[in-house]
Structure 1
Amino acid sequence: MTALSQWPCVAPPSATPWSAASAQMSLEFLMICATFMLPVLLNVCWPYLGFCGKVRSDIGYEHL
């Protein structure tokens, strides 16, 4: 409510989500790019999350 009282005219009252959206062609392009890039991004992030963390000094090849 504070933001509404401080900036009452940030968006005109006549603006709707449909009038503020991008063109149909650019939204389709974004969807196609996201469809192909999301698996690539997950493929990079998954190993990083698996291997991130501190390395302990007592674990290594010399202790085998």
Structure 2
Amino acid sequence: MQQNENIQVVEEKINCGQVEELIIQAKNELSLAEKMLIWKPWQKLTQEAPLNQWMWPPHK
């Protein structure tokens, strides 16, 4: 595993913002993953979705 003590080098390699922002984003993604384990969005719906619910742009 490579490690780099220079924060600027890490930010340039990742190219997605400052390290502080990356940590916040990682925590948010971890929180979402934990919620999805509870929500189980991959399972079938318990009841049929309303007509055109999944249409974009919204159905008129």
When Rg is computed on C-alpha atoms for both structures, the one with the higher figure is 1
Q: Fold-level match, TM-score > 0.5?
A: no
Structure with greater helix share of residues: 1
Larger RCO (CA under 8 A, 6+ residues apart) = 2
